[in-house]
Amino acid sequence: MNKTANTQHVIDRLLDIFRKYHRGIADLTIAGNLVRRSMTLCSDEQQLEIVAWMHDLIVHEQLPASNLQVEDRPVPLHPLVIRMWATFGDTGELSRFIFSDYSESSQEVLNADFNSRWARWKCAEMVYALSSAPERFHKSTLEFIRDQCSRLNNRFIGNTTAGDAFIAEIARLENCAEHAELRHLQDFLLKSETQSVSERRAAIVKTHMKTALDFGKEAKLNAMAKDLDEQGIPLPPKKGKKGKRDSPRDGTYSDVFIHNKKPQIWKRHILDVLKRNLYGRTKEPL
């Protein structure tokens, strides 16, 4: 990706933070706060460029072996990158990256040391991201995470290379994904409850404006009529003769559609009343 001069300037500044974190001078919390502050000042486009740069940093980096002496063991960049990626980048791509280590053809399942490090430095950060900002994860991404966790659990049945920590971390991630889905549902229900009557009516009218264009499906037409009646949306008035006012029309949409032999003649009137309820006038284009 070609980076702008401004983006490269930010990356140069972030690189110093990453180096200090990699050497253990700055811990994850401090480094994360510093990187987050710098990226918050960037545009959305710059943030995506920086996330792509972070991805390139770790895509070829090997997780350091756990048998090295502490003073010789560099801190892996994965936790810091994953934390920032989850905050500013595409969480769907992030999830696919996390689980790419365990593709069907991967032999990493036989490596107990790798499994342990993956759980600590990748899986644990996904747990943190899901717990901290579940709203950043789309429903389809949450379903993907749960499916992958289930797949790994099945794959590691009877496999001693997994270890208790690995299995526990997978379970935590799956639980976090489930809780995030419940959070999405809760937010949706709360939003629905707080919607005003006019907003709900507008949403219904928008839906039925599209349905009204297709009069070939009688079932849809009848369902639309019933819904409009339940919302108390009146029938279009009778057009008055020249010099006289329009008069209210008695009955319901359902009555009209059931008893009128040619419901298509109502198309113009129905669209007019739908637009009137939605826009407050009849000349608004569909």
- Judge whether 284 lies within some domain: no
Nearest CA to 175 among 150, 195, 193, 157?
Answer: 150
As a residue count, the chain comes to 286
| Parent domain of 177 | 5-194
pTM: 0.60
Query: Which residues make Cβ contacts (< 8 Å) with residue 252, sequence separation at least 6?
Result: 225, 229, 235
Where are the extended beta strands (E) located within the chain?
none
Query: Which residues make Cβ contacts (< 8 Å) with residue 156, sequence separation at least 6?
Result: 109, 162, 166, 167
Look at residues 194, 225, 243 and tell me which one is the last residue of a structural domain: 194
The answer to whether residues 97 and 146 belong to one domain is: yes
The answer to whether residues 185 and 226 belong to one domain is: no
Look at residues 194, 229, 245 and tell me which one is the last residue of a structural domain: 194
The answer to whether residues 147 and 227 belong to one domain is: no
The answer to whether residues 183 and 218 belong to one domain is: no
Cα angle: 192, vertex 194, 197; to 5 degrees: 85
pLDDT values of the chain reduced to their tens digit, one per residue, 286 residues: 456 668 888 888 898 898 888 888 888 999 999 999 999 989 888 999 999 988 888 876 644 444 434 444 577 888 999 999 999 999 999 999 999 888 766 665 667 888 888 888 899 999 999 999 999 999 899 999 999 999 888 887 777 767 778 888 999 999 999 989 888 887 777 776 666 666 666 666 666 655 554 544 555 566 667 777 777 777 767 766 766 677 777 777 777 665 654 555 555 556 555 555 554 444 433 3
The answer to whether residues 156 and 229 belong to one domain is: no
Phi, psi for residue 102 in degrees, rounded to 5: -120, 50
The answer to whether residues 157 and 261 belong to one domain is: no
Measured CA to CA, the distance from residue 218 to residue 257 in angstroms comes to: 9
The answer to whether residues 19 and 122 belong to one domain is: yes
Look at residues 167, 194, 221 and tell me which one is the last residue of a structural domain: 194
The answer to whether residues 175 and 47 belong to one domain is: yes
The answer to whether residues 203 and 133 belong to one domain is: no
Domain total of the chain? 2
pLDDT at site 286: 33
The answer to whether residues 179 and 208 belong to one domain is: no
Q: Tell me how far apart the 2 most distant CA atoms of the chain are, in Å.
A: 96
The answer to whether residues 49 and 123 belong to one domain is: yes
- Judge whether 285 lies within some domain: no
